[in-house]
Structure 1
């Protein structure tokens, strides 16, 4: 169900475009359960000094879908999510590190330089279905591993954090 606050958030995203500083002053507090909290060196906040997203708000952003195999699953799967570069553009982040943390407090460093078009997404769907905790969800940083051998390295695999719930921007 889309609530009035969700429509406001969606309207802001569509009216101003992703990456616009105009969003900074009007990004709504989500009404659904929080699935991602962004903190650190960010200029856009909606809950104290953080930017909090519920599933509906994340799904309002331009999504990317691609098929790829992973070393953690069998076969090729379809993943849908928000391209990481869209979030870094929204936040005005051009360099530094993203500390990505899972529900169990496991943390990895992702260089902002990875956040490019055709790069990783914060996936919220696998094969068209929401991912459960058991299936590495609700959010999973997925690279298009099958697209290039540069995505099939131990370093990139180590950045592919699942059960993601927090991002901290460090510049």
Structure 2
């Protein structure tokens, strides 16, 4: 069935209508604004922003990225623990980060420096679930940068444990 305003009788050229419609829509690759509470702000050398010079994410935006899970031993839990969330490199890619260092800041203002290369070299995730449950602030959430410590001996070192940031709230890119 033809669409009435796109028929030759309507006098409107279909390609013109389609062109205008596509022009008015944001590009599919653009970082959309959050619809829920912002839980992660990425500032600094960011190529894709959606709020006042920063890339901000709500939980739904992070969940929309491809998800990864792994089980790993950590110094903070007695048993190997399952972590789930997007790869840090995918989060950085969504914001089109162009720096070399991330300054991760937690809700309690703990700060740690993470080389962007870690996100490329290791399957570091921004976990929003532990053992398949959302991470509350009380249990190190809502976000936790976590390395897959059990995948290589290199990662079982205080250097990498110190780069893991729980209660993550922001990343500043330098």
Which bracket does the TM-score occupy, shorter chain normalised? 0.7 to 0.9
Q: 1:52 & 1:88 partners in 2: Cα distance?
A: 11
The match for 2:138 among 110, 114, 134 is: 134
Structure of higher CA gyration radius: 2
Asked if 1:85 is matched to 2:102, the reply is no
Whether contact under 8 Å (1:79, 1:127) holds in the other structure is yes
Partner of 2:82, secondary structure, is: strand
CA separation in 1, counterparts of 2:164 and 2:110? 12
Question: CA 1:92/1:53 → structure 2, altered by over 3 Å: closer, same or farther?
Answer: closer
Does 2:77 correspond to 1:73?
Answer: yes
Q: Which runs of at least 4 in structure 1 moved beyond 3 Å after TM superposition? A: 91-95
Unaligned runs of 5+ in 2: 1-25
Give aligned pairs, total.
149
Alignment of 1:7-46 (within 5 A): 23=29, 26-46=30-50
The worse-fitting range, judged by mean Cα deviation, of 116-125 and 54-63 is 116-125
Aligned counterpart, 2:8: none
TM, length-normalised to structure 1? 0.82
Contact conserved, 2:55 with 2:95, CA < 8 A, in 1? no
Shift of 1:119: 2.2
Q: Answer yes or no: is the 8 Å Cα contact 2:34–2:58 preserved in 1.
A: yes
Give me the whole-angstrom Cα distance separating, in 1, the residues matched to 2:123 and 2:157. 14
Structure 2: distance between partners of 1:29 and 1:150:
38
Q: Which runs of 5+ in 1 are unaligned?
A: 1-11, 17-22
Root mean square deviation of aligned Cα: 1.7
